[in-house]
Structure 1
């Protein structure tokens, strides 16, 4: 095969810079259109990959979502690598998107090659900054440049071109829109489809062997063409796997796969029947409905496809089930909850050998209305207020404060406006609040510059729980001096006793106490509240994730089920039977009537004024206290914390027995260094212990919860297999839920663990705790 010269690669890049696709160019004020595809990706996140790690991190710049043509128009090209993240229903990145803006709830990516179903994988594709398209093909170029910082873009293009069969005489335009238009190429389209499926099936080593995967995909397309297969069939999706994942070179094995697809006719008929139902209203009855889903999923590799059901209709009074070929929404005497709900049907896509490759989903939406009409936005007032906001002057590092009167923004034609609120300002360093008189205050110091278009949201609720929200766009935040970081004084103050409902948990070994908590004031002084005071209504506001759910000697633990029950309880601040005790504030510490001392070891104060605190009680008991709105049963992606090349630090707790009031606790800290499927662990406080091990991340397809699995292999090891979920972000730390399995199958009780990517942060906390003896 002839090599593709750097000259040919340079010409291809230059042509792309002139607007190779219909996306426009970098010049002028018309903006730039970015297009993402293997087929066109609808509702994919386009972002600026600031550290070029091939992941959508929370600090990466969010540019927007693509439309049904895979396109997003942006004002100008960013300087860093362009990237695209696909979103799946209930996926980790969908949760990240919703956290960015709650209005994105229910948003997921659709590959328009299969317009009736959600994308099966959450993947990232990148492109060099010179490209106006993002695809599995441009991703190959970006990967080569990321793997070798000395490689120029021209050299990377030449390398990928050669892997895909390009020659000196006929180089491949890697930055073309091969799906449609003048650059349409069925061969390149099929290659991209194969690469997408192969990247999803080889998460650990795809980027290490990307050009080899490309070469294998190109050869598979050639084989399909020679065999007379219809490469225009979007369901034909061979998958390339690596039979020697630990070796440096790819040993490709191609598996025949016909993609599981959603039957559009069946789906549309079911959707039409749902949409034509009489309006479902909270407080009224529901007659039920049966939807025919026979043949909803089709797969040439399976004779029988059995769908699975999930939904979020809990609490509405409407039950959902599958019986035979019918999806049944059962009648309800009274519908008890309003809102927008989803019924998700999923099925496994299996290859010709019967191996499950992914899950395919289709989503049915069901709206339940409130009996009353929600408040109405007065458009003229909205325009007037937006014009005021447009005139604000914002600059990085400069203190800012403005108020906005929203009392004339809404009207309610069948009730009364009762409560105004503000939320979700998207500029770091600014906070937003409402003073109970419909006056919004935005204040703070912007931490960085932003283009115009960041947002804040105001809400109103009427006397019948009808809610309406309005989003305002903020003007540009001009560049300026970066403000010095705010270093909070470490210690309790009267400000902590703000009556904000919180969550509190214990790090004790095999004793994961957890409950609702609050720091508050009454007429006599300060109160610390946690859990219930022998509630007669059965509403226990505290629990223990270490509790064995089995009535036998066998171990049966489900910490997330326990946490989910706590999430379902009514607001703790309004709860009348809290277990509270008096505390006295003195020199930043708290003291209760029993003589216990409460010492703050760490504090993170969010821009919304919420507190995350590590507190030591009685000299050796460590607890976490969190007043953010993160739910008890939250499960964050492990893959964002643990990956090849990452280093993290942990804190462990030991005691001779399960923790009781009189049990003395001791602490240690260690360091994990992660490589490809292996890790090394060494103790740092105290020193002297070392073990290697193997690590993997498993994904529960039903809960979509990632679990880190650690298998120690060293001579000093206890040979337990340790499991870890990520429960919550905590400033410089994160909190995990841990358990272990011994070789005889005995499972330890789950407990909370403390982790950080900062050795300084973990050691700072350890300075105030009793250490395990060497």
Structure 2
């Protein structure tokens, strides 16, 4: 039986993407080009960065260029626009900004880390300036915060960051080169293909877009649906795991259990964003990391109707307080 319960949650406004470029005008003169023989005054060469972050599409996520390759999103690695403004991802999960061409090239040479922002958390100690009330929303459930301390990684040059690209980096951390790591992760996920072994698992594809692509076959859409659910399970697992556990060390075991849970799920469960099994990972008495069987979990959900009803009740309660409290004080 599926159990759901409601919680108060607030939607938020996506951060504005601020863009611009420098430049200057040269003085007119008698020499060719109108600059009196002086070198022309130019602004920086402008490039662009588009990075898509997906569990579902992640709105208001922080994106970093992992220059020291430690797998963490650090203050001096936050990707900003050409004016130095911190920009978060939009409703399509995209960081879409203009940067100087040299910065664009530097970003492509470093791994990517995406950080989920938790509600009302003070990030000043981490060096981030995040406005109060700004937090990451998974657009699979757009009316509530993710509320999870989660980071996704992607190899250098990737334009997409998901729990699946995070697996590639995990394999690379264990000593594989990128091509070998990609092949290993595809093998881990291969049972999702079912009987149609001709299907290809593109670890850098937008599986949400594939699910809605009218040009995709039914088999491709089904595979994309399973990849989406697998990504959700991996996110839940990372969130539930203790910070002392190195999930990279047991990535293959976790994926095996996640794939089993997905293949055992019904069609309705695969399409239910609240159905998010978790793979428990803990340490035993000997200090060894143990991966357990998936636990079925239905995440609490808040839809637009519930949010509107709760907001109305709060408004009415505030009005009553304003009407009654003054009379109580006077008596």
Q: Is the structural similarity TM-score above 0.5?
A: yes
Change in CA separation of 1:233 and 1:96 when aligned onto 2, cut-off 3 Å: farther
Cα shift at 1:119? 1.0
**Cα distance in structure 2, aligned partners of 1:52 and 1:135:** 17
Distance apart, 1:205 and its partner CA: 3.1
Q: What is residue 89 of structure 2 aligned with on the other side?
A: 66
Q: Residues 600-628 of structure 1: CA distance to partner in whole angstroms, max 9, x if unpaired? A: xxxxxxxxxxxxxxxxxxxxxxxxxxxxx
Matches of 1:329 and 1:48 in 2, distance apart? 49
Structure 2 Cα separation of the partners of residues 329 and 42 of structure 1? 36
Cα offset, 1:273, TM superposition: 7.3
2:257 to 211, 216, 239: 216
Check if 1:91 corresponds to 2:118.
Answer: no
- Alignment partner of 2:92: what SS? coil
Map Cα deviations across residues 164-212 of structure 1 (whole Å, 9 max, x no partner).
Answer: 1168854410111111244751100000000000111124132221122
Contact 1:288/1:332 (CA < 8 Å) preserved in 2? no
**SS of residue in 2 equivalent to 1:289:** helix
1:119 and 2:149 equivalent? no
Tell me the equivalent position of 2:10.
Answer: none
Matched, 1:162 2:187: yes
Shift of the 61–249 alpha-carbon distance from structure 1 to 2, 3 Å rule, reads same
> CA 1:188/1:264 → structure 2, altered by over 3 Å: closer, same or farther?
same
Is residue 31 of structure 1 aligned with residue 48 of structure 2? yes
Question: Which of 1 and 2 has higher RCO (CA within 8 Å, sep 6+)?
Answer: 2
The equivalent residue for 1:100 is 128
**Higher gyration radius (CA):** 1
Is 2:204 the partner of 1:175? yes
In structure 2, what is the equivalent of residue 133 of structure 1? 160
For structure 2, the residue ranges without an aligned partner over 5 or more in a row are 1-44, 81-86, 327-331
8 Å Cα contact 1:36-1:133 kept in structure 2? yes
Do 1:243 and 1:253's aligned partners in 2 also have CA atoms closer than 8 Å? no
Task: Tell me the alpha carbon deviations over residues 249-272 of structure 1, each in whole angstroms, 9 at most, x when there is no partner.
Answer: 753221111111124212123446
Q: 2:246 aligns with which of 185, 205, 208?
A: 205
Change (3 A) 1:101 1:331: farther
Contact 2:111 2:157 survives alignment (8 Å): no
Q: Would the alpha carbon gap of residues 89 and 251 (structure 1) be closer, same or farther in structure 2, given more than 3 Å must change?
A: closer
Aligned-partner SS, 1:255: coil
Check whether the contact 2:120–2:134 (CA below 8 A) recurs between aligned residues. no
Alpha carbons of 1:270 and 1:210: their partners in 2 closer, same or farther (altered >3 Å)? same
1:366-445 to structure 2, matched below 5 A, reads none
Equivalent residue for 1:254, pick from 294, 304, 313 = 294
The answer for the alignment partner of 1:45 in structure 2 is 62
Shift of the alpha carbon at 1:129?
1.8
What whole-Å deviation, never above 9, does each CA across 1:83-117 have from its counterpart, x for those lacking one?
10001113354x457x5336x22210111111111
Q: Distance in 1 between matches of 2:147 and 2:111?
A: 25
Distance of aligned partners of 1:65 and 1:165 in 2 relative to their CA distance in 1, 3 Å threshold = same
Count of aligned residue pairs for this structure pair: 252
CA contact (8 A) 1:288 1:331 kept: no
Task: Supply the distance in 1 between the matched residues of 2:198 and 2:288 (Cα, whole angstroms).
Answer: 31
Asked whether the 8 Å contact 2:64–2:74 carries over to 1, the reply is no
Say if 1:256 and 1:164 are closer, same or farther in 2 by CA, change over 3 A: same
Contact 1:49–1:82 (8 Å) recurs in 2: yes
Contact persistence 2:254–2:291 (CA under 8 A): no
SS at match of 1:198: helix
Normalised TM-score (structure 2) = 0.67
The structure whose residues are more often strand, as a share, is 1
Q: CA RMSD in A?
A: 3.0
Query: TM-score, with normalisation over the residues of structure 1?
Result: 0.30
Residue 237 in 1 paired to residue 262 in 2?
Answer: no
Q: Is the 8 A contact 2:65 2:113 kept in 1?
A: yes
**Structure 1 SS opposite 2:90:** coil
2:71 counterpart (39, 54, 57): 54
More helix by share: 2
SS of the counterpart of 1:126? strand
